[in-house]
Amino acid sequence: MSELLKTPLHEEHVRNKAKMVEFAGWEMPLQYTSIIEEVKTVRTDVGIFDVSHMGEIFIHGPDAIAFVDYLIPNDFASISFGHALYSPMCNEKGGIIDDLIAYKVDSETAYLIVNAANKDKDFDWIKTWAKKFNVEVHDKSMEYGLIAIQGPKAEEKLQEITDVALKKIGFYELTQSRIRGVKGTLSRTGYTGEDGFEFLVEWDAAVTVWRTLKEYGMKPAGLGARDLLRLEASYLLYGNDMDENTNPIEAGLSWTVKLDKGDFIGKEAIMRVKDKGITRKLVGLILEGRNIARHGYKILKDGEEVGFITSGSYSPTLEKSIALGYVKKDIAKKDTELEIELRKKTVKAQVVKLPFYRGSVKSHK
């Protein structure tokens, strides 16, 4: 077994007695205090996350914008410089290779932040298609640290130590900024359902930024809280809620697919799905009691198997057991009564409208 990778903040986590776990080949903090306490901090105040394990893939050259637009179904060409967007990245069959955020820096520079577990696969895929374009592709994942600053008080607390007017940074916008003198790229993005920012900084400067954020009352949180927060906000997790056997339409990501733009990888396959119609759909479920539906559990309707759970947990914010899962399209309607097969029993569940929880996160609207 190869040695686990360590983020630039690894020693900070260990020194502050975080519980460390293996995740996607990295040694990462699962929690600092308790997962529930960290969730509540992010929902009511502000928490900080080390997400330096995420991959950073930079694309340079005259065709940089056109190339990224071809890689993904969302309309990257249409957004302004200094903006970003969320998108799946699909294969020729319309299956989701990964989901990512694409950042448009200038006419010849873009970068993608991808999931840690998929970084090498993504990089190989992107390099293969880059041969058709006048671009250079670089994996700079080990050159940068990434810190997420999340919560309804993120803007208020961060404003004390940064040199830009945070109110002017819109949702999914980015700018060059300094935090206590340390230069980096600040974007209004996140994975928690709350307002907040992500700060991309050179690897060796990450510790200074982390300590400054803590000094100004922002509390560290781990992967456990991050996963619960994203589930409450109904954000999908690659490998659980979608994979290469999933298309964006059935995953509820139709809003990221712009079929009226130019060509992109998987366009014809996704158009066929759209024309033919999907056979299954990702839905939100509220379970009876405090029972937790785990990934892979069967979903039943009148005793017949009709789908499976992709993500599930007990929500401390809603005080309900929540889950995401795929079911046959004809029973994906709100208020449909279903059952979840646990180990030795079945539990009632109801289809609900997503998201489960809407926090302070900004929007384009």
Q: What is the mean pLDDT of each run of 10 residues along the chain (365 residues)?
A: 89 98 98 98 98 98 98 98 98 98 98 98 98 97 98 98 97 97 97 98 98 97 98 98 98 97 98 96 97 96 96 98 97 97 93 97 69
Stated as kind and residue range, the H or E segment containing 214 is helix 206-215
Q: In whole angstroms, give the CA distance from residue 280 to residue 199.
A: 37
The SS3 assignment for 1 reads coil
358: tokens are 């809407």
* Third-level CATH fold of 55-139: Alpha-Beta Plaits (3.30.70)
Write down the residue that tokens 């374009």 correspond to. Answer: 133
Length of the chain: 365
Q: In whole angstroms, give the CA distance from residue 328 to residue 332.
A: 7
Q: What homologous superfamily is domain 5-51+143-232 in, according to CATH?
A: Probable tRNA modification gtpase trme; domain 1 (3.30.1360.120)
pLDDT, residue 364, reads 57
Query: What residues does CATH 2.40.30.110 cover in the chain?
Result: 279-365
pLDDT, residue 1, reads 46
Q: In whole angstroms, give the CA distance from residue 188 to residue 350.
A: 34
Does the pTM of the predicted model rise above 0.75? yes
Query: What residues does CATH 3.30.1360.120 cover in the chain?
Result: 5-51+143-232
Q: In whole angstroms, give the CA distance from residue 299 to residue 278.
A: 18
In order of 3, 13, 56, 105, the CA distances from 200 in angstroms are 25, 19, 10, 13
- CATH number for the region 279-365 comes to 2.40.30.110
Q: In whole angstroms, give the CA distance from residue 224 to residue 32.
A: 10
Query: What residues does CATH 3.30.70.1400 cover in the chain?
Result: 55-139
Sheet holding 83-90, edge to edge: 83-90, 96-106, 109-114, 55-60, 136-139
For the chain, report the end-to-end CA distance as a whole number of angstroms: 48
